[in-house]
Amino acid sequence: MTPFERFNIYSSGRYEINENVELFSQAVFSKQTVNTIIAPGGSFFNNYDINLNNPTIPIGIANQFCAGLGLTAAACTAGINTPFGPTLADGSVNPDFVNVNTQVRRRTIEAGTRQSAFTSTLFNIVVGARGAITDNISYEVSGTYGESERIQTQTGFARRSRLDDSLQALPNGTCISGNAGCAPINLFGLEGNLGTQDAIDYVFNLTQQVITRTSIATVNGTVVGDLGFGFSETPIQFAVGGEYRSFEATRNSDSASQTPGAVVGAGGAAPDIAGSYDVYDAFGELSIPIFEGESFAESLTLDLGARYSDYSTAGTKFTWKAGGTWEVIPGLTFRGNYQRSSRAPNIGELFAPVSTGLSNLANDPCQGAAPVGNATLAAVCIAQGAPAGVVNAGTILPPAAGQINITTGGNPNLSTEQANTWTIGTAFQPDAIPGLSVTVDYWNIKVTGAVSSPTVGDAIAACFDNANVANPFCSSQFISRNPSTGGLDGDPSNTKGLILQQSNLGTISTDGVDVSVRYNTDITDNIGLAMSFDGTWTNKNLFQASSTALNRECVGFYSVNCNPQSEFAFSQRTSVTIDEDYTISLRWRYLSGVEQEPQDILDNGQAFIGNSPLFGDVDFTQIPAESYFDLSFQWDVNENVLFTLTAQNILDNQPTVVGSNIGSTAFNSGNIYPSSYDAQGRRYGASVKFKF
């Protein structure tokens, strides 16, 4: 459980100048501190230049290096035994000195864990005025300004420059560079033998810092009221207004954090970002009662709305909505709505520099023997930057730790995405069952021109479902391999991996049904019962990165392309109140089961079956349905004091382990999906709230 500390202050005030003018304001300040700890770092993909006479290299490995370099036995012996670096004691060139370039994969557990501290502060201020223009028309004008700042510091990570320095070591235990503090690091040592504490401190004791700042400023005004006339007894109601919004964001990193590969084991670089945009809006809404008190309609109301937006980055957009409600008889209402809405790309999507980070992939189509004897596949792998010798020898390894490099960034040419949404539903409150209300709504959403990038599976399938050098998606423009190992992992400074470009080519389509039920009744004069149910059935959730990509279905599945999406999910709460002062409440949270995405199985060539020394093969291809139960007790001590006890996940349900390879790095953490399932087990809480 991540340590989390938060301080919040909120204030509001209002002053009535007269019956037509009231001034109001509110202010919020918050400070949050979060400290995270992750596993020790290491050298997972990097290539290094290591001198052959480095005392940390075991003789067996040194002989393998000599064989790989094609050295004679005499040259190998001389290279291993020379006491000098590139130059001799007299300053002349050392003819026996040999450098080896090799990839080393070793987790540096001796250096301890990697820590990050996040300190976030924000404030927001609102000031405005509101009042009446006439008896049935009112106004409100206001302005807001807010800023946020997040400072992230990292410790426990190796610096590449110092690691390179410490790997160039002489037999006498000194670094060739002679830099102050440098001591030989031992990446070839067994567990517990990484080197002296001086060496560990030299490589791992530097701190990185990234500062992210955002600001928002708005001015808006609205006039609302009714026209004093209409088609029925209730007059037509309206709202009109305008708004201006300005957004700005920056990210400033130290030189190491923004340089690809400079911080070893940090995932990806954090290059500086600076961007801003603003938007002018004008909008209007009408609520038009058509009928009231008729035999066929207790009421029939038409709702209309429109908005015109002018973005400094994405141009203009006109959006609108039309809907209505029809109360057939008291307690039975039908409702529907159709709207066209839009979203402009945010600052990160527009202005984030291109950088290389990590995602998950279990198997590389070019790994192992796959391209051996397959000239077409071999040509594709070579065209993407893999060395021909490595490809033809079949020595490309699977992605280390199931992770590959991906390269992403902003696109200043992005435009707005558009959504067409329609809903239809009913609300039922029968007189025969007092306290009961039921709503059922079908919703359908389709987003076109979606700001998106291909999934990992999309990028792999676009090339390797039709692996051919003539396929543009197989070029190094979309897939860039490690120039030394041929893999998709490695030093981010020379291995871009999958290049997932942002575009407006995406399409998202989803629909489903929401059901809500409420029931309240008195069991006795001093005991009350309240029950609620909120559930969703998702029929589909399709994402297509482009017109040529797979239209990927994610409902009921999870994978590197899909975060777990249950077909059915609901929350049900039952509360009993005694004497209006004591309330006991039980909440039931339910998620239907999910399984590995079938397309993911095809992309990887296998279902995910893990191997455990204790249990043998472990099935990672499904997560069964999950139910969580939470219990709470509230005591309303008096009108100023409220006491609460809570117990969450009272059955102590543990999350299903699915391994680290299935799912994106951002969501699959610790071999589970903590953003979807409870990772903490049973826990308790208590609070006291005071009002004064």
pLDDT tens profile 140-187 = 999 999 999 999 999 999 999 999 999 999 999 999 999 999 999 999
Q: 48, 164 in Cβ contact below 8 A?
A: yes
Counted domains in the chain: 2
Confidence at residue 375, expressed as pLDDT on a 0 to 100 scale: 95
Closest CA to 280 of 234, 251, 313: 313
pLDDT for residue 614 is more than 70: no
Q: 395, 401 in Cβ contact below 8 A?
A: no
pLDDT tens sequence across 373-419: 999 999 999 999 999 999 999 999 998 878 899 999 899 999 999 99
pLDDT for residue 573 is more than 90: yes
pLDDT tens sequence across 89-129: 899 999 999 999 998 889 999 999 999 999 999 999 999 99
Closest CA to 365 of 287, 462, 504, 450: 462
In this prediction, residues 466-495 reach a mean pLDDT of: 92
Q: How many CB atoms lie within 10 A of CB 176?
A: 20
What is the largest distance, in Å, between two alpha-carbon atoms of the chain? 110
Closest CA to 321 of 309, 307, 305, 308: 305
Distance CA 485, CA 495 (A): 10
Confidence at residue 118, expressed as pLDDT on a 0 to 100 scale: 96
In this prediction, residues 351-365 reach a mean pLDDT of: 87
* Residue 527 falls inside a structural domain: no
* Residue 440 falls inside a structural domain: no
Q: 275, 350 in Cβ contact below 8 A?
A: yes
Closest CA to 546 of 605, 472, 597: 472
- CA distance readout (Å), 538 to 340, 362, 380, 509: 21, 29, 40, 11
* Residue 299 falls inside a structural domain: no
Backbone angles phi, psi at 463, to 5 degrees: -90, -55
* Residue 420 falls inside a structural domain: no
Which helix (DSSP H) or strand (DSSP E) does residue 68 occupy?
helix 59-69
pLDDT band with cut points at 50, 70 and 90 for residue 336: very high
Q: 113, 48 in Cβ contact below 8 A?
A: no
In this prediction, residues 11-22 reach a mean pLDDT of: 94
Q: 63, 76 in Cβ contact below 8 A?
A: yes
pLDDT for residue 372 is more than 60: yes
* Residue 67 falls inside a structural domain: yes
Confidence at residue 119, expressed as pLDDT on a 0 to 100 scale: 97
**Mean of the per-residue pLDDT values for the chain?**
93
Distance CA 324, CA 335 (A): 6
Boundary of a domain, candidates 187, 204, 221: 204
Confidence at residue 611, expressed as pLDDT on a 0 to 100 scale: 58
pLDDT tens sequence across 658-673: 887 787 777 887 789 9
pLDDT band with cut points at 50, 70 and 90 for residue 3: confident
Distance CA 665, CA 318 (A): 38
pLDDT tens sequence across 270-298: 889 899 999 999 999 999 999 998 888 89
pLDDT for residue 203 is more than 60: yes
* Residue 367 falls inside a structural domain: yes
pLDDT band with cut points at 50, 70 and 90 for residue 619: confident
Confidence at residue 605, expressed as pLDDT on a 0 to 100 scale: 62
For 85, the domain range is 47-103+158-204
Confidence at residue 604, expressed as pLDDT on a 0 to 100 scale: 66
Q: Which residues is 273 bridged to in the sheet?
A: 251
Distance CA 536, CA 569 (A): 5
- The CA-CA-CA angle for residues 517, 521, 523, to 5°, reads 135
- CA distance readout (Å), 586 to 532, 581, 589: 11, 17, 10
pLDDT tens sequence across 33-78: 999 998 898 887 788 999 999 999 999 999 999 999 999 999 999 9
* Residue 51 falls inside a structural domain: yes
Would you state the structure tokens that stand for residue 490, as one six-digit string? 């490695």
Provide the terminal-to-terminal Cα distance of the chain, rounded to the nearest Å: 33
SS3 163: helix
pLDDT for residue 598 is more than 70: yes
Q: 42, 265 in Cβ contact below 8 A?
A: yes
Would you state the structure tokens that stand for residue 193, as one six-digit string? 């033998």
Confidence at residue 104, expressed as pLDDT on a 0 to 100 scale: 87
* Residue 447 falls inside a structural domain: no
Could you give the percent of the chain with pLDDT greater than 90?
Answer: 78
